[in-house]
Amino acid sequence: MSATPKKAKKEVNTGDLLKTLAKPSLKFEDYLKKNSQSFMESDRAKAWKILKDKYISANTDIINKADIGYTFYYDILADRKTPKRDKLFRILLAMKASLDDCQTMLRLYDYAPLYPKIKRESAIIYAFNHSQSVYELNVVLDGIGEEKI
């Protein structure tokens, strides 16, 4: 008779985490244990590795599609350098990362998340949701009179 594998804990959404944290009877240690699968990675180098494994993009392809320097790219992955917000977009678009992954990386670098009420940021959100390239996004941004990434 084979053993039944344990089910992986399900990730809890942000709204539910906030509701749980507001409960007066909550013990924080219990909260941490119960929600361990829901916390995002805080080690940037590890977060980049997870993304690289998830999207399986060759480094040279990312560097070329993002149009950034080779050394700068590897310094970012190793967390030796912090990219500006637009450079982060360039790398993530080149990886074909999701909007959720983009928002997570913005938080890891203490940048504001993309906000759809800002025209330029709406174009960037659209680019992530429609797997646009850096070039395609820059054409759109230029066409609406906004700064390219």
Write down the domain spans for the chain.
Answer: 11-40, 44-143
Which whole number is the average pLDDT over 53-74?
94
CA angle 97, 62, 78 (to 5 degrees): 85
Region 12-33: what's the mean pLDDT? 86
Model confidence over 122-148: pLDDT tens digits? 999 999 999 999 999 999 999 999 999
Judge whether residue 4 has pLDDT over 60.
no
Evaluate if pTM is beyond 0.95. Answer: no
Q: For residues 3-19, give the mean pLDDT.
A: 66
In this prediction, residue 6 has a pLDDT band, given cuts at 50, 70 and 90, of very low
